[in-house]
């Protein structure tokens, strides 16, 4: 019924026309003007129940605008019926109203923001004469429009006054928010509609009036928006700490099970909903820029605070260059943690939030999210750029690799998280930063070659023990091989870069690129480099072994170091695989060769003393020669014992292998020598003088060898 009524027959039009309201222009300005209407407080309680209903409806339907529209249509029908009754009453009251209105101070108990919205809706849904069609008749503006604006103005005034002394209210969404938001919505719609209408009078003052109220209303909403973004978060929403209770609360209220991710932004559902509605009103009212800027500034500050809470602090690249390694190590650990938090919790939380708040405006939420995360990512990447530029040193390798891995693992997540456009840009930036880390890592790793080559000390390690360089290098390599996949990846990527860009790097081109290419047995570039380092270590050790004047000792030295290397390789499947079986077998046989050399060098001489040849002339033992032999043996054995018990073989197995193999040669030889010749000597003094050792003694003394305890024989004998 109501819908079919021509607008100039609306009951209220008869009583007052738009022009009769002289206060229109005066009301326009600002908060210091007392609104003409009494405060709405008395009606608030009544409103509340209605609102609650309303809000429920809205909550149910806000993801389904279509359903909501339908619902609203139904509602409209119902209300139409209701209105017919009301209208009758209205006409009765009409006369009273005119009187009161003329005094410009009518209490108008009938109208409140809630009821008047229905009239506004009706006005909006009625077709009106359009500017473009001459035949259309001029639109009469109903008087309640003016009233409506008054009510909204008063409401804003009330809100503003409430707020200045309502700190205790803190972060509660105002109770009548949904009605106010609807009112703002109608204002925006009115503004658009009236622009199009053919109005009887100069429509500009009405447009001015509407624009003014809209500006005040939306400014208020903007403050609300900012305030709730800034202040309404759970104060303890430390992104790292899960607040279980909160999580569950969220889950029950939110439609999807991503709800637990809301814990980072840390707003309650009620507030997120409120923010969503405000954003909708601001944007549909044409205040998109203000809305986005407020959102961006607030969220950026909050996000940066979250990073700060994680311990991530900004450093200039200049400062990073000057940082001590200890503090850099700490900062790197924090950085890695931060990157991971961003990838797992923070970014997705941020994305959920922005998508929820700007749910009706996907391009806007995408651009806000990109801008925000881009800024954060650039900041994070900046740190890694700075670190990659610092002076290279061996101890940094593993931290750089950790960083490299963190960035590498970030990239696939970005593809999921970011809108395509910013994902591409950020992927490029991340890849660049990662490549720099990779390059630095490679330089450090390859620098191992140089530090091995540069280790040219002239002092041999006492006792032929494992050289510190061997320990250092092998342990370093072993540790590096824990990053095997990463290093393989870096080396592969790097060798590509090397080739692409080799003109500017003359020194690399000649030295390494061809090596990488000549992967004879399909070794990866990293494996090639690793083998290279091993070889360089080897030749360095060989040079070092020459520092020993005693050839036997230099064999022991080589054995010790070789054994150490093989044992370590045996213990690490990765290195073993990388160097390959062939290499391993070759090194084992090298070791056996050193063993043989040693045996020959030391024990070959001693065995010479036990040679039966030249002792007998015509089947008769020549005593003085025998005595000399015994003397020689004793002296030599004592000498060997003396020196070689101070030699060191720390590998127990090698030590016992050696002892066993020595005993296996010496004891039978000595025993048979003794058996054959001992009775030649006179028993007593002579025997005592020349046969100093029983075969068992020999065994005992051999067991003293390679213990690193010099001259123990004397001790034992006394």
- Residues 379 to 408: which contact another protein by CB under 8 A? 379, 382, 385, 389, 392
* Least distance in angstroms from the C-beta of 160 to another protein: 4
Stretch that binds another protein, among 308-316, 612-620, 681-689, 696-704 (CB under 8 A): 308-316
Q: Verify binding: residue 186, another protein, rule CB under 8 A.
A: no
DSSP secondary structure code for residue 620 in this structure? E
Q: Find residue 616's DSSP bridge partners.
A: 621
Q: Verify binding: residue 283, another protein, rule CB under 8 A.
A: no
Whichever of 21 and 156 has its CB closer to another protein, that residue is 156
Backbone angles phi, psi at 494, to 5 degrees: -65, -40
Number of residues forming the site for another protein (CB under 8 A) = 75
Whichever of 239 and 695 has its CB closer to another protein, that residue is 239
Whichever of 166 and 635 has its CB closer to another protein, that residue is 166
Nearest-CA neighbor of 339 among 305, 300, 384, 302? 384
Q: Find residue 197's DSSP bridge partners.
A: 130
Helices (H), 572-651: 573-579, 581-598, 604-609, 623-644
Q: Rule CB under 8 A: which of 654-693 touch another protein? A: none
Contact pick of 209, 277, 494, 595 for another protein (by CB under 8 A): 209
Q: Verify binding: residue 219, another protein, rule CB under 8 A.
A: yes
Nearest-CA neighbor of 346 among 240, 226, 234? 240
Question: Is residue 497 packed enough to be buried (19+ CB in 10 Å), middle (13-18) or exposed (0-12)?
Answer: middle
**Nearest 5 degrees, angle CA 400-CA 380-CA 363?**
135
Tell me the C-alpha distance between 372 and 517, whole Å: 43
* Least distance in angstroms from the C-beta of 450 to another protein: 6
Contact pick of 36, 94, 211, 632 for another protein (by CB under 8 A): 211
Tell me the C-alpha distance between 9 and 138, whole Å: 13
Cβ-based neighbours of 227, under 8 Å, separated by 6 or more:
none
Phi-psi region of 706 (alpha: psi -120 to 50; beta: other; left: phi over 0): left
Q: Rule CB under 8 A: which of 284-303 touch another protein? A: 286-287, 289-290, 292-293, 297, 300-301
Q: Rule CB under 8 A: which of 338-377 touch another protein? A: 375
Q: Rule CB under 8 A: which of 419-438 touch another protein? A: 432, 436
Whichever of 227 and 472 has its CB closer to another protein, that residue is 227
Q: Verify binding: residue 164, another protein, rule CB under 8 A.
A: yes
Tell me the C-alpha distance between 477 and 527, whole Å: 11
Tell me the C-alpha distance between 465 and 475, whole Å: 16
Q: Verify binding: residue 117, another protein, rule CB under 8 A.
A: no
* Least distance in angstroms from the C-beta of 437 to another protein: 12
Q: Rule CB under 8 A: which of 139-158 touch another protein? A: 156
Q: Verify binding: residue 26, another protein, rule CB under 8 A.
A: no
Nearest-CA neighbor of 218 among 253, 250, 180? 180
DSSP secondary structure code for residue 287 in this structure? -
Helix (H, G, I), strand (E, B) or coil at 128: coil
Q: Verify binding: residue 450, another protein, rule CB under 8 A.
A: yes
Q: Verify binding: residue 509, another protein, rule CB under 8 A.
A: no
Helix (H, G, I), strand (E, B) or coil at 470: helix
* Least distance in angstroms from the C-beta of 528 to another protein: 20
Helix then strand then coil, in percent of the chain rounded to 5, is 75, 0, 25
* Least distance in angstroms from the C-beta of 197 to another protein: 13
Contact in structure between 711 and 645 (CB atoms under 8 Å) = yes
* Least distance in angstroms from the C-beta of 312 to another protein: 11
Contact pick of 99, 313, 420, 535 for another protein (by CB under 8 A): 313
Contact pick of 49, 252, 504, 589 for another protein (by CB under 8 A): 504
* Least distance in angstroms from the C-beta of 316 to another protein: 4
Q: Verify binding: residue 196, another protein, rule CB under 8 A.
A: no
Tell me the C-alpha distance between 561 and 591, whole Å: 10
Stretch that binds another protein, among 221-229, 355-363, 405-413, 608-616 (CB under 8 A): 221-229
Q: Verify binding: residue 30, another protein, rule CB under 8 A.
A: yes
Whichever of 287 and 564 has its CB closer to another protein, that residue is 287
């Amino acid at each position: 019924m109501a819908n079919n009524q021509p607008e100039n027959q609306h009951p209220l039009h008869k009583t007052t026309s738009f022009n009769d309201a002289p206060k229109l222009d005066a009301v326009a300005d600002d908060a210091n003007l007392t609104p003409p209407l009494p405060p709405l407080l008395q009606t608030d309680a009544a409103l509340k129940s209605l609102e609650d209903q309303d809000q429920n409806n809205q909550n149910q339907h806000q993801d389904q605008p279509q359903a909501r529209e339908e619902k609203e249509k139904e509602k409209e029908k119902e209300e139409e019926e209701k209105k017919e009754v009301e209208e009758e009453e209205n006409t009765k009251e009409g006369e009273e109203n005119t009187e009161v209105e003329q005094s410009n101070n009518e209490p108008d108990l009938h109208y409140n923001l809630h009821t008047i919205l229905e009239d506004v809706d009706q006005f909006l849904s009625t077709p009106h004469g359009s500017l473009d069609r001459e035949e259309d008749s001029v639109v009469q503006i109903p008087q309640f429009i003016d009233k409506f604006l008054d009510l909204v103005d008063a409401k804003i005034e009330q809100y503003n006054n409430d707020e200045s002394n309502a700190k205790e209210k803190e972060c509660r969404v105002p109770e009548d928010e949904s009605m106010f938001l609807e009112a703002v919505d109608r204002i925006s719609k009115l503004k658009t509609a009236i622009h199009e209408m053919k109005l009887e009078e100069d429509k500009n003052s009405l447009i001015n009036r509407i624009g003014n109220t809209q500006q005040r209303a939306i400014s208020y909403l903007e403050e609300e928006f900012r305030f709730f973004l800034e202040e309404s978060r759970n104060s303890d929403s430390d992104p790292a700490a899960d607040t279980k209770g909160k999580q569950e609360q969220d889950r029950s209220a939110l439609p999807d099970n991503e709800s637990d991710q809301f814990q980072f932004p840390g707003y309650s559902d009620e507030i997120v909903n409120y923010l969503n509605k405000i954003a909708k009103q601001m944007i549909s009212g044409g205040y998109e820029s203000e809305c986005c800027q407020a959102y961006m500034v607030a969220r950026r500050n909050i996000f940066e605070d979250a990073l700060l809470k994680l311990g991530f602090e900004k450093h200039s690249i200049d400062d990073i260059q000057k940082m001590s390694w200890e503090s850099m190590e700490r900062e790197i650990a924090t950085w890695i943690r931060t990157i991971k938090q961003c990838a797992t919790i923070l970014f997705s939380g941020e994305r959920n939030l922005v998508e929820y708040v700007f749910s009706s405006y996907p391009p806007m939420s995408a651009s806000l999210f990109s801008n925000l995360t881009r800024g954060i990512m650039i900041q994070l990447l900046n740190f890694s750029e700075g670190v990659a530029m610092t002076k290279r040193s061996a101890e940094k390798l593993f931290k750089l690799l950790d960083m490299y891995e963190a960035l590498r693992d970030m990239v696939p997540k970005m593809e999921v998280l970011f809108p395509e456009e910013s994902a591409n840009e950020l992927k490029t930036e991340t890849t660049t930063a990662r490549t720099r880390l990779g390059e630095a890592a490679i330089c450090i790793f390859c620098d191992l070659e140089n530090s091995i080559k540069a280790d040219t000390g002239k002092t041999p390690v006492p006792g032929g023990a494992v050289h510190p360089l061997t320990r250092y290098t092998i342990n370093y390599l072993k540790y590096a091989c824990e990053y095997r996949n990463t290093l393989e990846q870096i080396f592969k990527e790097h060798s590509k870069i090397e080739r692409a860009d080799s003109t500017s790097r003359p020194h690399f081109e000649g030295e390494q690129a061809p090596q990488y290419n000549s992967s004879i047995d399909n070794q990866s570039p990293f494996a090639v480099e690793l083998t290279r380092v091993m070889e360089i270590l080897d030749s360095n050790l060989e040079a070092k072994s020459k520092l020993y004047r005693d050839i036997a000792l230099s064999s022991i030295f080589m054995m010790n170091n070789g054994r150490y290397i093989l044992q370590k390789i045996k213990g690490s499947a990765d290195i073993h695989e990388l160097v390959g079986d062939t290499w391993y077998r070759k090194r084992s046989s090298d070791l056996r060769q050193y063993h043989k050399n040693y045996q020959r060098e030391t024990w070959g001489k001693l065995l010479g003393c036990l040679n039966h040849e030249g002792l007998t002339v015509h089947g008769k033992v020549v005593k003085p020669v025998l005595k000399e032999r015994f003397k020689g043996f004793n002296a030599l054995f004592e000498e060997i014992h003396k020196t070689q018990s101070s030699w060191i073989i720390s590998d127990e197995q090698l030590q016992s292998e050696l002892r066993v193999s020595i005993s296996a040669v010496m004891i039978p030889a000595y025993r048979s020598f003794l058996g054959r010749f001992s009775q030649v000597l006179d028993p007593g003094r002579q025997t005592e003088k020349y046969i100093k050792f029983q075969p068992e003694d020999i065994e005992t003394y051999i067991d003293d060898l390679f213990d690193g305890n010099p001259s123990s024989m004397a001790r034992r004998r006394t």
